[in-house]
Structure 1
Amino acid sequence: MPRTAAPRETPPVRVNIAEDVFCRLRDMAIQYELKPGERLNEVDLAERLGVSRTPVREALYRLAQEGFLVESGRGYSRRQLDVKETLDLYEARCAIEAECARLAAERASDEALDEIDAFLKSSAGVPADTSASHLVELDEAFHERIARASGNAELMRILINLNHRIRFIRWINMEKIGRDHTQAEHRKILAALRKRDADACVALLRTHITHRTDQIVEAITAGLARIYLQQP
């Protein structure tokens, strides 16, 4: 009788260590666990993450390319929380989202708009005590859906990077603004998209996103207190 071959074992899924390290360090940068101006030590970070120095070095280079870090001697430091730079990031976000909205008004399918509508309805039911960080995630998800509906993958890629870089400030703002105000503005934006009114949609988005200098200063001041003094 022929011998039956033993079943092959399924090989274990190979974890992409480099990508995992990058995502973990990016989260640390977003949350300012890496303090503004802090010079980063590859050896210390590798020990902290339980990996070799190579994926840490690669991740730090990528984070510098994406705007989270600046070169410091032969290494990198966490970029400072800066008023002018934060305003620049909001202006960039406003420009990118305005173009996404214009294109979405022209190109988005009815099915894509229905999906955005369904998302807004489901996210409206989050509990009152939902954390600011989760509310910002929901807000980003709404705006990224409009970017996806624009049909331009490069605009969406840029928007995601901008969202990562201003996320900490947006957490601070969301704690002050709250969800109801944001939801109401999202509804108006969606209504303009449904009407295929690109001009109205762009105007609503610009009003929704634009921040004044005093608002940025206030958010950065609160953010620095959160980072260094552990104030709520």
Structure 2
Amino acid sequence: MEISVATSNLEEKPSPKPEARKRTSLSSAAIYERVKNMAATFELRPGERINEIDLSKQLDVSRTPLREVLNQLMVEGFLERTTNKGFVSRPLDVKQIFDLYEYRLSLETAIGRLACQRATDDEIVQLERSVQEDAAVPEDSDSNQLLALDEAFHMRLAHLTRNDEFVRALSNVNARIHYVRWIDMRNGRRPYTQAEHMQIVQALKARDEVALVKLLEGHIARRKEQITEVIKLGFSEIYTRQRG
């Protein structure tokens, strides 16, 4: 008699390995916007070395797209790169901010001249209505909201030139002085801003290029001592805020 021996049909399998940690599928554009915001608001503190490994973990992204973003932001002036430290956050100093305001002034006066020539009457009326709507926002509203309204006004003015390069350049400089303007807005700039916007629109409506440029100069220009004071307030906010 032949005796069959039953054998287990279960195959021996290796113990499961811990599943590799997956990175989120953030697009390069999303990574760019997140890191740009961190740089613009000095969540990356002035002069701070950027640890790419830690930042990739914080954002839950791989280092390759992150490195591409850091290089792009360096080219755009939001970060710097040194031989020994790698990428570092840009400084917050009077000279750099003054230079940016000076650049913004020359840029926006050129925008104003071109808008006088190219904006249609209907477009100017729409801009006037938007300023009237902005003026209805309470002065004690959140500073981020107030600054967003202010930046939007200047971007709408830039779009009236029908020149994409002006729009792109203004968007960049706005982002690079965003933090300083936010500090400025928190310290009582709002009432003057809205009144000056309406005066700018009225000059545009009258196609008075000379008056418009003069108004923009008064609206945008900042003396070095003013910038120095705002930067002092900015440093105080940066180093007393809680880091996430």
User: TM-score normalised to the size of structure 1?
Assistant: 0.90
Structure 1 counterpart of 2:115, from 100, 104, 112: 104
Query: 1:116 and 1:16 mapped to 2: Cα distance?
Result: 36
* CA positional deviation for 1:71: 0.6
Offset from partner CA, 1:104-146 (integer Å, 9 cap, x none): 0111011211121121111111133311121111001101111
Between stretches 193-202 and 126-135, larger displacement belongs to: 126-135
Partner deviation per Cα, 1:57-82 (whole Å, 9 max, x = no partner): 01101110110111122621001101
Counterparts in 2 of 1:120-159, with a 5 A limit? 120-159=131-170
Measure the CA separation in 2 of the matches of 1:33 and 1:183: 28
Equivalent residues in 2 for 1:1-232 (5 A)? 17-73=27-83, 75-230=86-241
Gaps of 5+ in 1: 1-14
Structure 2: gaps spanning 5 or more residues: 1-24
SS of the residue aligned with 1:223?
helix
Q: Write the letter of the residue equivalent to 1:32.
A: F
Partners in 1 of 2:50 and 2:147 — Cα distance?
28
Q: 1:195 is matched by which residue type in structure 2? A: A
* CA-CA distance at 1:30 after TM superposition: 1.1
8 Å Cα contact 1:39/1:72 also seen in 2: no
**Which deviations, in whole Å up to 9, do the C-alpha atoms of 1:38-90 show, x marking residues without a partner?**
11111111100011111110110111011011112262100110101100000
- Number of equivalences: 217
Partner SS, residue 76 of structure 1: strand
Note if contact 2:139-2:191 (Cα within 8 Å) is conserved in structure 1.
no
- Greater C-alpha Rg: 2
| Amino acid across the alignment from 2:194 | Q
**1:178 Cα deviation from its structure 2 partner:** 3.4
Write the deviation string for residues 188-209 of structure 1: whole angstroms up to 9, x where unpaired. Answer: 1000000001111011001100
Moved over 4 A (4+): none
Q: 1:180: Cα distance to partner?
A: 1.7
Identity of aligned residues (%): 44
